[in-house]
Amino acid sequence: MKASEVRDMTPDQLQDELLKLKKTQFNLRFQGASGQLEKVHQMRQVRRDIARIKTIQRQLATEANKG
């Protein structure tokens, strides 16, 4: 997911996407612990997508407080 795609989302869409990614991260952790994880790089990508969404949510919140 690119930052430009995330910036085009509404705050509700961002929250929904964040919840979806956290569930995915949870499932990937279980797969990793049980040795069933095939795509190891997917954990890193999900973690970065979560951080990207949180960063943009924080930026939107600070912009709302300024104006």
What pLDDT digit, counting tens, does each position of 34-66 carry?
A: 999 999 999 999 999 999 999 999 999 999 998
What is the pTM assigned to this prediction? Answer: 0.90
Q: Could you name the CATH architecture of 3-66? A: Orthogonal Bundle (1.10)
Percentage of the chain beyond pLDDT 70 is 100
pLDDT at 67: 73
Indicate the length of the chain as a whole number.
67
Q: Are 25 and 43 in contact (CB under 8 A)?
A: yes
Torsion of the alpha carbons at 58, 61, 65 and 67, rounded to the nearest 10: 110
